[in-house]
Amino acid sequence: MFNQKSFKGNHETGTLYLVPTPIGNLEDMSYRSVRLLQEADLIASEDTRNTQKLLNHFDIHTPQKSLHEHNFKERIPQFMEELKKGRSIAQVSDAGMPSISDPGHELVVACIQENIPVVSIPGPTAGMTALIASGLLPQPFLFYGFLGRKKKEQHSILEELKDQTATLIFYESPYRISATLTNMLAVLGNRQVVLCRELTKIHEEYLRGNIEELLAYIEKQPVKGECCLLVEGKTGKDETSQVIEGSLKEQVEQLIALGEKTNVAIKAVAVKNGLKKQEVYRQFHELD
């Protein structure tokens, strides 16, 4: 049943403020966010060392306590005690919005359960920033965040997402972007993608094209900096996402027949079958 008191919050307690921080450019910090960090009794930070740099820049002297994936079970009861005493807490992640691929969700849930007000402050977030400048359909979209690191895990997740017509938004490390794109090529087909890196920073860059083109570019010029990857939703034209069967040689030949370049097809078949690219190359060229 809807609880009106719970919706309005219990004003005898303190308030949890969810404060976004810049994803690169300090000028994106809002006046309201600075004020709340100054006025809060305590700041819950993903990494106190990173947040201290931000606080120093804006001459903020509010004390901090860490809150991250390794200590949230210990910290949440401590923060809840402070909030129940009427003290306000501002929660921040290292960059962007708390809870979006960052710590924060567990404390929010704990506050809601105890009828403690939670106030979200609008501000920087990499996924939305990248989406509206990508050129891909801005809505509907599906924000996924970080994919798993293992090939089989990525394949499983991408199989679940391949029929989505919404633009897909992922975060990825520059060290894993090539492997992730290769897995996407094997499961989703050669879709249009946009790779956004170093958002709001001096070397901000948008790389646009299909997966095959982007893989070829990265092979010659590896990317640096944290990446936001946007993938076109299913349009009905993704012929390369159909089931590829037969021997390794036959699988490569089927992808080539669908328009893939030989080296990309070999790499995709290797990923699909959990093999090294050299093994697929050997069988395709029938080398002893």
Residues 194 and 216 in one domain: yes
**5 lies in some domain:** no
Q: What number is the average pLDDT over the span 145-174? A: 94
- How many CA atoms lie less than 13 Å away from 8 in the CB half-sphere? 6
User: Cα 136 to the chain's mean position, in Å?
Assistant: 17
Q: Where residue 279 falls among pLDDT bands split at 50, 70, 90?
A: confident
Indicate which CATH number applies to the domain containing 107.
3.40.1010.10
Q: Which pLDDT tens digit goes with each residue over 210-231?
A: 998 999 899 888 898 889 999 9
The total of structural domains in the chain comes to: 3
Residues 226 and 130 in one domain: yes
- Residue where a domain terminates, one of 120, 145, 171: 120
Residues 219 and 198 in one domain: yes
- How many CA atoms lie less than 13 Å away from 31 in the CB half-sphere? 0
Query: How far is Cα 285 from Cα 256, in angstroms, rounded to an integer?
Result: 14
Residues 101 and 157 in one domain: no
Indicate which CATH number applies to the domain containing 181.
3.30.950.10
Per-residue burial over 151-166, b = 16 or more CB atoms within 10 Å of its CB, e = otherwise: beebbebbeebbebeb
Kindly state the tokens that stand for 15: 């308030």
Q: What number is the average pLDDT over the span 261-265? A: 82
**239 lies in some domain:** no
- Residue where a domain terminates, one of 91, 120, 149: 120
pTM for this predicted structure? 0.77
Residues of the chain above pLDDT 90, percent: 68
**253 lies in some domain:** yes
Q: Could you tell me which residues come within 8 angstroms of residue 172 by beta carbon, excluding any fewer than 6 positions away?
A: 146, 147, 180, 227, 228, 229
> Closest Cα partner for 17 from 76, 145, 104?
104
What separation, in Å, do the N-terminal and C-terminal C-alpha atoms of the chain show? 70
Element (H, E) at 187: helix 177-188
Query: How far is Cα 215 from Cα 212, in angstroms, rounded to an integer?
Result: 5
Residues 85 and 145 in one domain: no
Q: Which pLDDT tens digit goes with each residue over 188-202?
A: 999 999 999 999 999
- How many CA atoms lie less than 13 Å away from 161 in the CB half-sphere? 25
Q: What number is the average pLDDT over the span 133-137? A: 95
- Kindly report which listed range (27-41, 217-231, 260-274) carries the lowest average pLDDT score: 260-274
Which structural domain, as residue segments, surrounds residue 99? Answer: 16-120
What average pLDDT is seen over the chain?
A: 89
Query: How far is Cα 253 from Cα 244, in angstroms, rounded to an integer?
Result: 10
Kindly state the tokens that stand for 212: 């095959």
Residues 151 and 200 in one domain: yes
Residues 147 and 177 in one domain: yes
More confident residue, 243 or 147: 147
Query: How far is Cα 18 from Cα 15, in angstroms, rounded to an integer?
Result: 10
Q: Which pLDDT tens digit goes with each residue over 92-122?
A: 999 999 998 777 899 999 999 999 999 999 9
Q: What number is the average pLDDT over the span 70-91? A: 95
Q: What number is the average pLDDT over the span 250-259? A: 82
Q: Across 5-19, 73-87, 209-223, which has the greatest mean pLDDT?
A: 73-87
Query: How far is Cα 171 from Cα 87, in angstroms, rounded to an integer?
Result: 34
- Residue where a domain terminates, one of 62, 97, 120: 120
**112 lies in some domain:** yes
Report the pLDDT value the prediction gives residue 143, as an integer from 0 to 100. Answer: 96
More confident residue, 7 or 100: 100
